[in-house]
Amino acid sequence: MNNFDWLRSEYVTLIVPYAIRVLGALGLLFAAWILAAWARRFTLRKLGQAEFDLTLSKFFSNAASYVILILAALSCLQLFGVNVTSFAAVIAAAGFAIGLAFQNSLSNFSAGIMLLVFRPFKVGDVVNTGGYTGTIAEIELFTTMMDNFDNRRIIIPNAQIFSSTIENISYHSTRRADVNVGTDYGADLDETRVVLERVANAATHKLPDKDIQVALLELGDSAISWQVRVWADSANWWAT
């Protein structure tokens, strides 16, 4: 055997096993990616059929997907002879430094856990928080996504939400619609009140068991300020 044949033999001996491992790792990751997507859809569908809470359904379906991907990544490390136990020890040793570097992300993570545990709002609620108002689309571990009323997607860090006042606008099944009205100083007060009460009582979505209110708020610089108050179902508040 000449030197060229010897080098080629050594080359094949060294490269082929690693090439097989690389192909195996790629195949494993591809299969895990497909399985994770399927697990997410399957979990979400089954929890939906069981009429489970939508917010937690999305959280558990995402968690199932992440678990599969993490297990696949650890399996790939084992294919290349990496001791996963030792690897975990290294990660633990570096945890403090990583925690300092990603303290904002960790605060968002902990805030996301608190939002899922204490449930100040759920998917589908209309919420005013963090300086934004909209309908909650999804609650993730690091961010919360909402759609505002002109259909823009707003993504807010969970720490910003949890550290601010949260107004859950659609928490109750009924709401009061307050409409401010200004009238001229020449308008008769008694006649104005009668007209406003008639309009309020004619509101399509007014709840019949709730009385309407017409209040004179103040005598402004250029108009007399009134407020008309009508109770309605929360779903009909905008229409009212």
Q: pLDDT of 185-205, one tens digit each?
A: 888 899 999 999 999 999 989
Q: Between 132 and 73, where is the model more confident?
A: 132
How crowded is residue 144: how many other Cβ atoms within 10 Å of its Cβ?
Answer: 28
Report residue 106: phi and psi, to 5°: -65, -35
CA dihedral 36, 41, 42, 46 (to 10 degrees): 140
Query: Starting at the edge strand that comes first in sequence, how are the strands of the sheet with 174-183 ordered?
Result: 174-183, 224-233, 213-219
- DSSP 8-state secondary structure symbol assigned to residue 185: T
The pLDDT value recorded for residue 5 is 54
Identity of the residue numbered 58:
K
Place of tokens 């949260």: 166
Element (H, E) at 225: strand 224-233
The pTM for the full model equals 0.55
Parse the chain into domains and list their residue ranges: 3-93, 103-168, 174-236
- Report the largest interatomic distance among the alpha carbons of the chain, rounded to a whole angstrom: 116
Residue pLDDT, tens place only, 85-140? 665 566 665 555 555 555 677 788 888 888 888 889 998 999 999 889 999 998 88
The fold of 103-168 is SH3 type barrels. (2.30.30)
Selected residue with higher pLDDT from 33 and 58 = 33
DSSP 8-class letter at 238:
T
Residue ranges of the alpha helices (H) in 123-214?
158-162, 189-201
Cα separation, 13 vs 145, whole angstroms: 52
Q: 207-230: buried (b, 16+ CB within 10 Å) or exposed (e) per residue?
A: beeeebebeeeeeeeeebebebeb
Fold (topology level) of 3-93: Helix Hairpins (1.10.287)
Structurally, at CATH architecture level, domain 174-236 sits in: 2-Layer Sandwich (3.30)
> What distance, in Å, lies between the first and last C-alpha atoms of the chain?
93
C-alpha span between 168 and 126 (Å, rounded): 6
State mean pLDDT over 67-78: 80
